[in-house]
Amino acid sequence: MFKSLSTFDVFQNLPVGVTTLDGVDNRQFLQGQLTCELDALTPSHSQLGAHCDAKGKMMAVLRLIDTGTQILALQAAENTAAHLPQLAKYAVFSKVTITDDSSSYHCTGLSGQASAQWLVSALGASLASNNDAINTPYGSVVRVDINESTPRFIIVSNAQQHDVLTKALALTTHNNLSSQLWFALDCHGGAAQITPATQAEFVPQMLNLQMVDAISFKKGCYIGQETVARMHFRGLNKRAMFVLQSSSHIACQVGDNVEKQLGENWRNAGTIVSVQHIHNQTIACAILPTDFELDDVLRVKNGDALYFSVSKPAYFIEQ
């Protein structure tokens, strides 16, 4: 279920929010805002991180890219407008300019072994987990799969770079697929995201961010650090993100509750945080208890009598 269809799939014009951070203090500013270690961000390594409120609840999950001249922060497109005022209000004392530049960039997804081979032949770029980014004439290329068998990449291009990329892809044999399938693959891989419906609802560990190097427990202070660190060092977090799949279309949306059966009754189990419907099938990610039994089935609370199977993302680490 929910696998890309060929060894070279292209997903044009992905709706991804792109924020640019310019100015000499951009890195220092983000170091004091995000859960991740900014020293790890380089032109050859992107970085995942969360922006939290003072209570340690997430306002956004960001993928940072160092272009060499500025920092790009990618996130769920629908969350960008609501999140930027939260980030910008802390920038008044820093030499940093924060701009929603989503309309100035094109985001293109690539998936499959042949796409990885094409990047090697076209750019000499063999991207892996410790060397997952490169700035090219096509734009900034980042590998985004996490311990999955199928490589996936996102290319963030300005208008000129996108024109170069489009011409280069026209010379290849590939499938053009929908952005809906791309985000279904995100769900399949357990890629965390925050949307307006889930802002200020979850601490970063509940979306598994400590499992994908998106939280540093050694860095200095940042917004919400006290809560995030306490959850970690005292072992207080008892929830994690799991993958839900169904071969049927299940009517649900972000924020819906799911429940599991206990005897003849059903009891609340967690919350859906991302969902996609593809080919009359449904895939989602949900926050569930960390000790959730994978043999248990889930249904949407007050929904139809249709059930999800549950699995762990490939990167899942037992806590």
Q: Tens of pLDDT along 48-75?
A: 999 999 999 999 999 999 999 999 999 9
Does the pLDDT value for residue 83 go beyond 80?
Answer: yes
Report the percentage of the chain scoring pLDDT > 90.
Answer: 88
The pLDDT score that the predictor gives to residue 147 is 82
Question: pLDDT band at residue 32, thresholds of 50, 70 and 90?
Answer: very high
User: Which helix (H) or strand (E) element contains residue 243?
Assistant: strand 239-246
The pLDDT score that the predictor gives to residue 3 is 56
Mean pLDDT of 203-208: 98
The pLDDT score that the predictor gives to residue 264 is 84
Q: Is 27 helix (H, G, I), strand (E, B) or coil?
A: helix
Cα gap 83→81, rounded to integer Å: 6
Does the pLDDT value for residue 1 go beyond 70?
Answer: no
Mean pLDDT of 184-190: 96
- Residue pointed to by tokens 């026209």: 170
Mean pLDDT of 166-188: 96
The pLDDT score that the predictor gives to residue 291 is 94
Q: What type of residue sits at position 50?
A: A
Taking the domains of the chain in order of start, what are their residue ranges?
Answer: 9-189, 198-311
Low-confidence winner among 12-16, 197-201, 261-265 (lowest mean pLDDT): 261-265
Q: What six digits make up the tokens of 148?
A: 């999955």
Question: pLDDT band at residue 230, thresholds of 50, 70 and 90?
Answer: very high
Q: Which CATH number fits domain 9-189: 3.40.190.10, 3.30.413.10, 3.30.1360.120, 1.20.58.100?
A: 3.30.1360.120
Are residues 259 and 266 in contact, defined by beta-carbon separation less than 8 angstroms?
A: yes
The pLDDT score that the predictor gives to residue 67 is 97
Does the pLDDT value for residue 144 go beyond 70?
Answer: yes
CATH annotation of 198-311? 2.40.30.160
The pLDDT score that the predictor gives to residue 129 is 78
- Among 14, 182, 25, 216, smallest CA distance to 106 is for 14
The pLDDT score that the predictor gives to residue 317 is 84
The pLDDT score that the predictor gives to residue 2 is 54
Residue 19: exposure state from Cβ atoms within 10 A (0-12, 13-18, ≥19): buried
Question: pLDDT band at residue 268, thresholds of 50, 70 and 90?
Answer: very high
The pLDDT score that the predictor gives to residue 319 is 63
Does the pLDDT value for residue 153 go beyond 70?
Answer: yes
Mean pLDDT of 13-31: 98
The pLDDT score that the predictor gives to residue 4 is 56
Alpha-helical runs (H) found in the chain? 26-31, 77-88, 113-123, 159-169, 179-189, 225-233
The pLDDT score that the predictor gives to residue 295 is 92
Q: In terms of pLDDT, which residue wins out, 15 or 147? A: 15
- Among 220, 172, 198, smallest CA distance to 36 is for 220
Distances (CA, A) of 43 to 38, 72, 88, 156, 234: 12, 11, 24, 13, 35
Q: What type of residue sits at position 153?
A: F
Q: First and final CA of the chain: distance in angstroms?
A: 28
